């Protein structure tokens, strides 16, 4: 892929320091009564302090505002937008109180998808976080559910947002702390003989059958969303670990690179990934997808552009210049790219049999190997 334009103007100044991203789920942080688990909050910030002391950087993606807000309102059916607007300031207040006890400076961020999808906002995001890391400040990040819940501006869940940030910021590792022990070979809620998979070398569709598509009882993600996050991060050489955050010292162990939960081995990246490629991959949640035939798969992997002749069907909604996923007939990810046409325009092209139309230029594609 050609590298150029504004993407060349951003560079990471962390030198030899590593960035760790910790995503804490609602069920790990908020108890059944809708209260913040104080011991979990203490462990999060205590571990963050240790990461800073050893000379590395850390960013925390936190869930829990919606569940906390509903508890404060006494209405478990309150909309996500209302609950988040009530719960978010209180949630960050808990973080601030603990941080002051440990003499740690925090920065609060409420993100929406355009901060990743739009190129200029993407670059500003990178620059802002880099400056925070240089000053030893810990960003506490959540999606702005009060504004974007249920809209196209939403990431959908914080697992996806954490993965997008990990890719965008060249993280060394993403740790996803939930209320489950990791990835199992069967659904542990249905089969008591289910065994945890401690290490995954290659994330393939073989593992999708181990994942529940149901979202968690209080949060918005599930194991499937976590596996997708691990798959994206592994593609660009980022380690991923799914752990049970309710088990004492698991968070500390994972951020110290000890084996707990399920560890996903990152792909070895021989070539430097350009910042433009990072943007394309990080922004992948911004749109739908297109399915292509075997001939098109071979063409893309040979460095060619995607033409309409190779497209079988479209999924989801997307506009021209958005980032879409390109999948094969088995729904395996092949690439991510900036599409030249909207979903409606592509479907019109397919009906009219104008198959020589270019849909995604080779220079605007990230090929998954």
Question: Averaged in consecutive runs of 10 residues, what is the pLDDT profile of the chain (369 residues)?
Answer: 46 68 97 95 95 96 97 96 97 97 96 89 95 96 94 88 95 96 83 88 62 50 80 88 94 94 85 85 72 96 95 88 86 86 92 85 87
DSSP state string for 101-139? HTT--EEEEEE-THHHHSHHHHHHHHHHHHHHHHTT-EE
Report pLDDT digits (tens) over 238-253: 999 999 999 989 999 9
CA distance 124 to 130: 10
Report pLDDT digits (tens) over 12-27: 444 568 999 999 999 9
CA distance 64 to 274: 34
Would residue 282 count as lying in a domain?
no
Does residue 222 contact residue 211 with C-beta atoms inside 8 Å? yes
Question: Which tokens belong to 341?
Answer: 């046409």
- pTM score above 0.75: yes
Q: Given this model, what pLDDT does residue 4 score?
A: 43
Cα angle at 338 between 332 and 342, to 5 degrees? 95
Report pLDDT digits (tens) over 95-138: 999 999 999 999 999 999 889 988 899 999 999 999 999 999 99
CB atoms within 10 A of CB 230: 28
Q: Given this model, what pLDDT does residue 99 score?
A: 96
Q: How many CA atoms lie within 13 A of 359 on its CB side?
A: 35
Same domain, 174 and 101: yes
Same domain, 257 and 312: no
Q: Given this model, what pLDDT does residue 3 score?
A: 39
Q: Please give the residue range of the domain that contains residue 223.
A: 15-264
* Domain count of the fold of the chain: 2
Does residue 111 contact residue 54 with C-beta atoms inside 8 Å? no
CATH number of the domain where residue 298 is located: 2.30.130.10
The residue from 264, 295, 311 where one domain ends is 264
Report pLDDT digits (tens) over 61-97: 999 999 999 999 999 999 999 999 999 999 999 999 9
């Amino acid at each position: 892929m050609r590298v150029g334009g504004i993407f060349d103007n951003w560079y990471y100044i962390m030198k030899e320091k590593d960035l760790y991203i910790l995503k804490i789920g609602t069920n790990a942080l908020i108890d059944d009564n809708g209260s913040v688990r104080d011991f979990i909050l203490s462990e999060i910030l205590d571990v963050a302090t240790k990461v800073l002391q050893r000379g590395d950087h850390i960013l925390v993606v936190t869930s829990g505002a919606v569940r906390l807000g509903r508890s404060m309102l006494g209405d478990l059916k309150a909309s996500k937008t209302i609950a988040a607007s009530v719960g978010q300031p209180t949630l960050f207040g808990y973080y601030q109180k603990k941080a002051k006890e440990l003499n740690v400076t925090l920065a609060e961020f409420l993100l929406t998808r355009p901060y990743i999808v739009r190129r200029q906002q993407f670059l500003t995001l990178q620059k802002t976080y880099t400056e925070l890391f240089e000053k030893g400040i810990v960003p506490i990040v959540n999606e702005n559910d009060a504004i974007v819940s249920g809209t196209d501006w939403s990431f959908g869940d914080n697992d996806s947002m954490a993965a997008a940030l990990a890719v965008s910021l060249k993280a060394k590792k993403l740790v996803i702390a939930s209320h489950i022990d990791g990835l199992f070979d069967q659904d542990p809620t249905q089969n008591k003989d289910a065994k945890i998979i401690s290490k995954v070398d290659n994330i393939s569709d073989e593992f999708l059958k181990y994942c529940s598509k149901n979202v968690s009882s209080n949060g918005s993600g599930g194991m499937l969303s976590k596996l997708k996050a691990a798959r994206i991060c592994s593609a660009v050489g980022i380690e991923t670990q799914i752990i049970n955050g309710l088990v004492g010292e698991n968070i500390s162990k994972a951020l110290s690179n000890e084996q707990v939960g399920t560890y996903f081995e990152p792909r070895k990246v021989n070539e430097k990934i350009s910042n433009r490629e990072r943007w394309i991959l990080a922004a992948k949640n911004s749109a739908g997808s297109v399915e292509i035939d075997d001939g098109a798969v071979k063409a893309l992997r040979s460095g060619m552009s995607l033409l309409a002749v190779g497209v079988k069907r479209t999924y989801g909604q997307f506009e021209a210049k958005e980032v879409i996923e390109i999948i094969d007939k088995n729904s395996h990810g092949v690439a991510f790219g900036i599409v030249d046409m909207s979903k409606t325009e592509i479907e019109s092209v397919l009906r009219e049999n104008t198959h020589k139309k270019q849909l995604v230029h080779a220079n605007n594609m990230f090929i998954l190997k």
